[in-house]
């Protein structure tokens, strides 16, 4: 019986699934099984996975049900003492599982190990850091403040912890990862691997219902878990949590492929940022944010893209990340 079960939900993932699976099979910790849940794919995903000769790979096909249901289906087939999930377009560094297993074994009170995350593009080239926050022990408040685990591709989790808190909430349209991690954090300690081991693929998404679903469900999850906090939280934490979320949303919008509707959405989210964090009114970057959003609205997408590429330094908005709060102890 393998020590670790890796679960990959895959829907129409033919362009990335081979590289994703290779990043699992090439782990320095090789005592694992890889369970691919083919979520009703209409492309060559099933054929690609089925052709992989490694006996550690198993594939199970179901009608399309979404990522939360697919992960829960994977849990039914998993036999390992530790569980890791991986999205079908993300990658791991070769030592990811070994590093997480090592810190869990060194910290027996912790049941969840996570690591830092870097961004990659569609060619799997690194774009830079995504989230390099280190939090250990009781991370419930810190996780509400900022979802530093980032994605479903990150943690290694003791199976007993998942059995205790249950799987992913299939009723949520988005933010299922965030909800799952908060339930784990309410019961168990986390431990960090302070090094980027997860490569999160940053793909361009046009402004659609995806971001709106993310906004609605993320705020809903925050409301729920502030109400259910196992211990009283600082009064200012909730406002800072929402402010941090809108900074992350604004960053995603303004670093995506520009177009008019996206610029308008960026202005809406920027006003949300200012409402929840008035410090932005005193920051030079706020002018830069307004200008970039306005140019998105006024210029044709191709011209806006060329302009932003030509003047990368001028339109770099990474500084907005420095205005987020990652430590609840910083709050009054």
pLDDT in tens, 215-270: 999 999 999 999 999 988 988 899 999 999 999 999 888 888 888 888 999 999 99
pLDDT at 332 over 60: no
Higher pLDDT, 110 or 309: 110
Res 209: pLDDT = 54
Q: CB burial class (10 A; 0-12, 13-18, 19+) of residue 152? A: buried
Per-residue pLDDT at 166 exceeds 70 = yes
Put residue 96 in one of left, alpha, beta given phi > 0 → left and psi -120 to 50 → alpha: alpha
Is 102:192 a contact under the CB 8 Å cutoff? no
> Which pLDDT belongs to residue 241?
95
Whether the CB-CB separation of 152 and 115 falls below 8 Å is answered with no
Helix, strand and coil content of the chain, in percent to the nearest 5, comes to 50, 20, 35
Q: Kindly state the average pLDDT of the residues 191-213.
A: 82
Give pTM, 2 decimals. 0.93
What is the C-alpha to C-alpha distance for residues 327 and 282, in angstroms, rounded to an integer?
A: 22
Q: Which residues pair with 237 in a beta bridge?
A: none
From 21, 6, 26, select the one nearest 156 (Cα to Cα): 6
Q: Where residue 210 falls among pLDDT bands split at 50, 70, 90?
A: confident
Higher pLDDT, 16 or 131: 16
Query: Which pLDDT belongs to residue 211?
Result: 87
Average pLDDT, the chain: 92
- State the number of CA atoms in the 13 A half-sphere of 74 facing the CB: 34
Structure confidence by residue, pLDDT tens digits, 271-298: 999 999 998 888 888 998 999 999 999 9
Higher pLDDT, 126 or 255: 126
| pLDDT at position 284 | 86
The rounded distance, in Å, linking the Cα atoms of 277 and 114 is 28
> Which has the minimum average pLDDT: 63-67, 70-74, 328-332?
328-332
């Amino acid at each position: 019986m393998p020590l670790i079960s890796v679960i990959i939900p895959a829907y129409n993932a033919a362009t990335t699934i081979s590289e994703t699976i290779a990043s699992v099979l090439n782990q320095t910790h090789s005592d694992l099984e890889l369970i691919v849940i083919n979520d009703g794919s209409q492309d060559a995903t099933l054929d690609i996975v089925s052709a992989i000769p490694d006996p550690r790979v198993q594939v199970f096909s179901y009608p399309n049900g979404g990522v939360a249901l697919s992960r829960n289906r994977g849990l039914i087939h998993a036999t390992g003492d530790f569980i890791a999930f991986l999205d079908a377009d993300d990658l791991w560094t070769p030592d990811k599982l070994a590093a997480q297993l090592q810190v869990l074994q060194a910290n027996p009170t912790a049941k969840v190990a996570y690591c830092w995350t870097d961004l990659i593009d569609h060619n799997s080239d690194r774009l830079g850091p995504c989230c390099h926050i280190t939090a250990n022990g009781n991370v419930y408040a810190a996780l509400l403040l900022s979802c530093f685990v980032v994605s479903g591709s990150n943690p290694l989790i003791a199976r007993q912890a998942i059995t205790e808190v249950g799987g992913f909430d299939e009723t949520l349209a988005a933010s299922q990862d965030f909800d799952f991690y908060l339930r784990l954090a309410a019961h168990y300690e986390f431990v960090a691997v302070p090094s980027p081991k997860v490569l999160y693929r940053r793909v361009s998404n046009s402004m659609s219902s995806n971001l709106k679903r993310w906004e609605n469900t993320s705020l809903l999850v925050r409301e729920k878990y502030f109400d259910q906090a196992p211990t009283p939280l600082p009064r200012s934490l909730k406002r800072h949590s929402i402010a941090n979320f809108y900074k992350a949303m604004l960053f995603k919008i303004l670093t995506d492929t520009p177009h008019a509707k996206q610029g308008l959405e960026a202005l809406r989210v920027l006003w949300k940022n200012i409402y929840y964090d008035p410090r932005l009114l005193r920051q030079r970057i706020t002018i830069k944010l307004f200008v970039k959003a306005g140019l998105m609205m006024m210029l044709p997408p191709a011209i806006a893209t060329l302009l932003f590429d030509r003047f990368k330094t001028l339109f770099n908005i990474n500084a907005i990340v420095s205005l987020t709060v990652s430590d609840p102890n910083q709050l009054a």
